[in-house]
């Protein structure tokens, strides 16, 4: 009945399989995410991955341009006050219009890679997103020196459209493709010189060496002695402007939740009343002692509780020995050991080891100790039983 390793594994094979499946799924997820997600921040100056821009940052540094990477708006404002060119790439879209306007009011020159709606509305009103270019722009067709030196750009460009108001305010496009431009330059309402690059391909490591991408990127960022590489992080987001849970939740959710609560309570009451009122009645219960003993023995065997099983046998033996030796119920174990040893003539150490100290190392030891306990009880009863002849002459059965 004692479960072994094989039996234990067979009993828990379902949970083992589930745990292995979950572990395998987690490993697959980690591998897939590691293979799909590019390491480092996109377009970061210290990121050597294909989506980073470490190559451009090192080329600028070799040309004497001081490249400083900032991850907070305060750092970008300090760099702008020092006259540095601000390279802005808000990949997460965390900057709101107020923060972009604050940056534009301080900076003299801002280069925006893949601008979002907030940047376009604040820095270049009238300029909007116009999709992706079908072919690689092959002609700058503008007066921007950096674009003119680049001559052409690689595939993967995104376009920006200029409406009449933006054109009247001085915004002009470079690298035309259809109705849009890959690069748009002009002056923001706050007076900052703004260059909008629709895509990140002119700056990224994997595409900077294609066509005139490198010439455009170096020309835009190398005009001044310092460049502030500003990649906004979650700390730049305005927590006060974040929508609340109630604002994000559709209007039908709250009524449905209330209805579900009401239906759950009604269903509980309905199902509960079907069983009728509770009845308190004393029911006679008879459990045979043999079934209780067998059930407890199976539990001990299933849990490999050999010592606990032996202790139960010892407790019963000690009680029976104390009663047979006419000892009080409050007698200590040592008194029972001494009386049993004196009665049977056995050494007190061996009797104590049998009743207290010995521990079974396996099922065989448990069976042997149980038999020894039974033998000790038999020996005590045999030693204290009255002589047959004396029993016939002395009706009281007293010992001589």
pLDDT per position as a tens digit, 29-50: 777 665 555 567 889 999 998 9
Q: Please check whether residue 349 lies inside any domain of the structure.
A: yes
Greater confidence, 154 or 389?
A: 154
The yes-or-no verdict on residue 217 having pLDDT over 90 is yes
Task: Give pLDDT, residue 10.
Answer: 75
Better-predicted residue by pLDDT, 287 or 220: 220
pLDDT-wise least confident of 34-43, 252-261, 289-298, 321-330: 34-43
Is the per-residue pLDDT at 200 higher than 90?
yes
pLDDT of residue 391: 45
Give the pLDDT score at 389: 39
Instruction: Please say if the pLDDT value at position 197 is more than 70.
Output: yes
Domain boundary among 202, 220, 237: 237
Q: What is the pLDDT of residue 199?
A: 93
Per-residue confidence (pLDDT) for residue 220, from 0 to 100: 94
Q: Do 79 and 199 reside in the same domain of the chain? A: yes
Q: Is pLDDT larger for residue 276 or for residue 82?
A: 82
Higher pLDDT among residues 120 and 27, named by residue: 120
- Asked if 298 and 313 touch (Cβ cutoff 8 Å), the reply is no
Question: Is residue 155 a contact partner of residue 138, using CB atoms and an 8 Å limit?
Answer: no
Q: Which is higher by pLDDT, 277 or 236? A: 236
State the pLDDT confidence band at 366, using cuts at 50, 70 and 90: confident
Task: Say what percent of the chain tops pLDDT 70.
Answer: 87
Phi-psi region of 210 (alpha: psi -120 to 50; beta: other; left: phi over 0): beta
Eight-state DSSP code of residue 155: S
State residue 392's pLDDT score. Answer: 41
261 inside domain: no
Q: What angle do CA 351, 354, 360 make, to 5 degrees?
A: 165
Q: How far from each other are the two terminal CA atoms of the chain, in whole angstroms?
A: 49
- From residue 291, give the alpha-carbon distance in Å to each of 1, 134, 287, 295, 296: 16, 84, 7, 6, 9
Q: Element (H or E) spanning 9, and its range?
A: helix 5-11
User: Could you tell me which residues come within 8 angstroms of residue 263 by beta carbon, excluding any fewer than 6 positions away?
Assistant: none
Is pLDDT at 151 greater than 80 in this prediction?
Answer: yes
Q: Judge if 220 and 311 occupy the same domain.
A: no
- Asked if residue 287 belongs to a domain, the reply is no
pLDDT > 90 fraction of the chain, expressed in percent and rounded: 48
Q: Does 76 fall in a domain?
A: yes
Q: Which domain holds residue 65?
A: 54-237
Instruction: Say yes or no: 336 and 230 in one domain.
Output: no
In a domain, 162, yes or no: yes
Say whether both 81 and 212 belong to one domain: yes
396 or 342, which is more confident: 342
Would you say residue 225 lies in a domain? yes
Q: Is the pLDDT of residue 124 over 90?
A: yes
Of the residues 221, 237, 253, the one at which a domain ends: 237
What mean pLDDT, rounded, does the chain reach? 85
Q: Where are the beta strands (DSSP E) in the chain?
A: 66-70, 85-88, 109-113, 127-132, 158-162, 172-177, 180-187, 193-197, 226-230
CA proximity to 70, closest of 52, 83, 89: 89
pLDDT of residue 227: 95
Confidence of residue 398 (pLDDT cuts 50, 70, 90): very low
In-domain check, residue 156: yes
Query: In terms of DSSP bridges, do strands 109-113 and 85-88 run parallel, antiparallel, or are they unpaired?
Result: parallel
Number of domains making up the chain? 2
* 63: region left, alpha or beta (phi > 0 left; psi from -120 to 50 alpha): alpha
Spatial separation of the C-alpha atoms in residues 204 and 112, rounded to whole Å: 14
CA distance 94 to 119: 11
Q: Quick one: 231 and 320 in the same domain? A: no
Q: Is residue 275 in some structural domain?
A: no
Q: What is the pLDDT of residue 399?
A: 41
Same domain, 113 and 185: yes
What is the pLDDT, as a whole number, of residue 78? Answer: 93
The residues near 95 (Cβ < 8 Å, ≥ 6 apart) are 73, 103, 118, 119, 232, 236, 237
Higher pLDDT, 247 or 342: 342
- pLDDT at 178 exceeding the cut of 90: no
- Beta carbons of 47 and 200 less than 8 angstroms apart: no
Last residue of a domain, one of 237, 263, 284: 237
Is it the case that residue 395 has pLDDT exceeding 80?
A: no
Query: What mean pLDDT do residues 316-320 have?
Result: 92
Q: Are 70 and 201 in a shared domain?
A: yes
Least confident range from 33-37, 60-64, 218-222, 347-351: namely: 33-37
Mean pLDDT of 348-352: 91
The pLDDT-based confidence of 12 (bands split at 50, 70, 90) is: confident
> Do 219 and 108 share a structural domain?
yes
Our CA angle for 16, 20, 22, nearest 5°, is: 120
Domain co-membership, 223 together with 304:
no
Whether residue 150 is found in the same domain as residue 231: yes
Residue 183: pLDDT band with limits 50, 70, 90: very high
In this structure, the answer to whether residues 312 and 202 fall within a common structural domain is: no
130 and 216 assigned to the same domain: yes
More confident residue, 298 or 388: 298
Question: Model confidence over 102-122: pLDDT tens digits?
Answer: 999 999 999 999 999 999 999
- In this prediction, residue 280 has a pLDDT band, given cuts at 50, 70 and 90, of low
pLDDT score for 400: 37
């Amino acid at each position: 009945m004692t479960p072994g390793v094989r039996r234990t594994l067979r009993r828990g094979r379902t949970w083992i399989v589930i745990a292995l499946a979950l572990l395998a799924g987690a490993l697959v997820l980690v591998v897939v995410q590691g293979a799909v997600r590019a390491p480092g921040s996109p377009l970061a100056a210290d990121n050597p991955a294909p989506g980073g821009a470490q190559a451009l940052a090192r080329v600028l540094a070799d040309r004497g341009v001081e490249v400083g990477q900032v991850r907070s708006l305060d750092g970008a404002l300090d760099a702008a006050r020092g006259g540095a060119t601000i390279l802005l790439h808000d990949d997460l879209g965390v900057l709101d219009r107020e923060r972009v306007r604050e940056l534009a009011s301080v900076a003299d020159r801002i280069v925006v890679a893949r601008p979002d709606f907030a940047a376009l509305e604040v820095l270049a009103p009238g300029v909007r997103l116009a999709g992706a270019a079908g072919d690689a722009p092959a002609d700058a067709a503008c007066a921007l020196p950096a674009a003119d030196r680049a001559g052409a750009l690689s595939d993967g460009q995104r376009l920006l459209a200029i409406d009449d108001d933006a054109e009247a305010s001085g915004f002009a496009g470079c690298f035309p493709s259809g109705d849009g431009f890959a690069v748009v330059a002009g002056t923001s309402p706050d007076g900052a010189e703004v260059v909008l690059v629709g895509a990140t391909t002119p700056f990224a490591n994997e595409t900077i060496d294609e066509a005139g991408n490198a010439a455009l990127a170096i020309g835009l960022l190398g005009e001044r002695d310092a460049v502030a590489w500003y990649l906004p992080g979650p700390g730049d987001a305005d927590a006060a402007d974040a929508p609340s849970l109630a604002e994000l939740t559709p209007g039908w959710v709250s009524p449905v939740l209330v209805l579900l609560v009401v239906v759950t309570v009604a269903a509980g009451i309905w199902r509960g009343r079907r069983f009728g009122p509770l009845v308190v009645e004393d029911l006679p219960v008879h459990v045979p002692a043999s079934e209780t003993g067998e059930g407890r023995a199976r539990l001990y065997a299933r849990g490999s509780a050999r010592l606990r099983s032996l202790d139960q046998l010892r407790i019963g033996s000690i009680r029976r020995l104390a009663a047979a030796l006419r000892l009080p119920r409050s007698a200590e174990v040592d008194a029972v050991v001494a009386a049993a040893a004196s009665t049977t003539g056995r050494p007190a150490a061996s009797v104590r080891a049998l009743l207290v100290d010995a521990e079974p190392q396996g099922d065989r030891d448990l069976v042997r100790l149980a038999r020894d306990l039974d033998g000790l009880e038999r020996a005590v009863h045999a030693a204290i039983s009255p002589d047959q002849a004396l029993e016939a002459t002395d009706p009281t059965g007293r010992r001589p």
